[in-house]
Amino acid sequence: MAGDKHLPVSPALSATILVAAALYFGSSVFAPVAVSLFVIAIVWPLQKALESRIPRLVALLLTLAATAAVIFSFGWLITWGLGAVGRWLIANIGRFYAIYELTAEWLDGHGIFLSNQIGERFNVLALVRMFQDIALRINGLVGFSVMVLIFTMLGLLEVGDFKRKLQTLRHGLSGERLLEMTTSIARKFRKYALVRTGASILTGVVIWGFTLALNIELAAAWGVIAFALNYIPVIGPLIATVLPTLFTAAQFESWQMAVIVFLGLNVIQFVIGSYLEPRFSGSALAVSPFVVVLAVFLWTFLWGIPGAFIGVPVTIAMLSACELNPATRWIAALLSGPSSEKT
């Protein structure tokens, strides 16, 4: 009977679902491994340079110490920035209620009756719980960072042997092609990290100076938060724009200054993120904006906060692998963005 017919399931679709399920349920293993591979690609030149001058194990210890210092300094900055914002929020909750009353009155005067719905959710405990949840998530990343360092140490010990194994590989995909692919991906990872870090530092410094010039409280915290969130494309800059805007409205108990801050932050984010950064990254890191947003949401869903930070590098690696394979080169061409390099 026609009703008994079943639609065929594509093997590729089935494989994709199984892989996604494995990545989701195995996130405690796959996420730190992915981050450690990204870290290995970045720090390997340092490890290699040190090995040429000092014993290998000493070089490894120095590389791991530098990596740990960077990771935990980054975490400390985020914790300090969010902590300062959380303390200011608790100390000035009355200002938020004041701006809420003004906003609700304005909306009601224009026939938009949302005060009851917003009021049910706008309370001190909800805001405090939100920051407590963020703090717990950040504290939970300490164990994650230790796992990343362990995998990084093991990986750095294997890089040399891995290269030699690829050079002697003779079955299936040639070792030369695999070596070319991993080398290309590592090079792109280093360029991505360099460009993204430079853009993040510049964004943080400019936002700090901008908010300080306008006498916005927590200027240093907003600069630090903008620096950290800039590592999460699209979503991070959006959060780093909305949060200072809301807190500015509460500080001045008016939306006039908040609008100025909102517009100024958008200009800063646009100039650095959409003009300067693409000019330095060039076509090698060009990815479709739609793919970037999809990658951030997808990997955040699969791996949480680490996925938000590592999602775009993982996508770059996947597109690089597709680009070096003639059978899948069309995928890389379809999902890559236009080059921003100009002569």
Let me know: does 332 contact 319? Beta carbons within 8 Å: yes
Q: Please tell me the total count of domains within the chain.
A: 1
Predicted pLDDT at 117: 56
pTM for the structure as a whole = 0.83
d(CA 269, CA 225): 13
CA terminus-to-terminus distance, the chain:
65
Token duo for residue 132: 């407590």
Predicted pLDDT at 264: 95
Please state whether 112 falls in left (phi above 0), alpha (psi between -120 and 50) or beta. Answer: beta
Domain annotation covers residue 106: yes
Nearest Cα to Cα of residue 235 among 316, 289, 188, 155: 289
Predicted pLDDT at 184: 86
Phi, psi of 285 (to 5 degrees): -110, 15
Residue appearing with tokens 């990872």: 189
Average pLDDT value for residue range 272-280: 82
* Mutual angle of helices 235-252 and 255-270, in 10-degree steps: 160
Judge whether residue 310 has pLDDT over 80. yes
Judge whether residue 68 has pLDDT over 90. yes
Average pLDDT of the residues of the chain: 82
Please write down the long-range contacts of 297-302, taking CB distance under 8 Å and 24 or more positions apart: 297/235, 301/24, 302/20, 302/23, 302/24, 302/27
Let me know: does 259 contact 101? Beta carbons within 8 Å: no
Predicted pLDDT at 193: 92
pLDDT tens for 108-145 read 665 665 555 555 555 555 666 776 677 677 777 888 88
Judge whether residue 201 has pLDDT over 60. yes
Residue 60: pLDDT band (50, 70, 90) is very high
pLDDT tens for 234-264 read 888 999 999 999 899 888 888 889 999 999 9
Domain annotation covers residue 342: no
Domain annotation covers residue 238: yes
Token duo for residue 238: 């959006």
pLDDT tens for 18-43 read 888 888 898 888 999 999 999 999 99
Which ranges of the chain would DSSP assign to H, the alpha helix? Answer: 11-25, 27-51, 56-91, 93-109, 115-121, 124-168, 175-213, 219-229, 235-252, 255-270, 277-281, 289-303, 305-323, 329-335
d(CA 31, CA 310): 9
Judge whether residue 70 has pLDDT over 90. yes
Q: What percent of the chain lies above the pLDDT cut of 70?
A: 82
Let me know: does 50 contact 59? Beta carbons within 8 Å: yes
Token duo for residue 98: 């004041």
Domain annotation covers residue 24: no
Judge whether residue 306 has pLDDT over 70. yes
Domain annotation covers residue 131: yes
Residue 212: pLDDT band (50, 70, 90) is very high
Domain annotation covers residue 305: yes
Let me know: does 175 contact 322? Beta carbons within 8 Å: no
d(CA 316, CA 295): 10
Residue 275: pLDDT band (50, 70, 90) is confident
Q: Which residues of 59-87 are buried (b: 16+ CB within 10 A; e: fewer)?
A: bbeebbeebeeebeeebebbbebbebbbe
d(CA 312, CA 315): 5
Domain that residue 291 falls in = 29-335
Domain annotation covers residue 211: yes
DSSP-derived 3-state class of residue 166: helix
Domain annotation covers residue 23: no
d(CA 231, CA 222): 15
Which residues fall within 8 angstroms of residue 104, CB to CB, at 6 or more apart?
114, 115, 118, 119
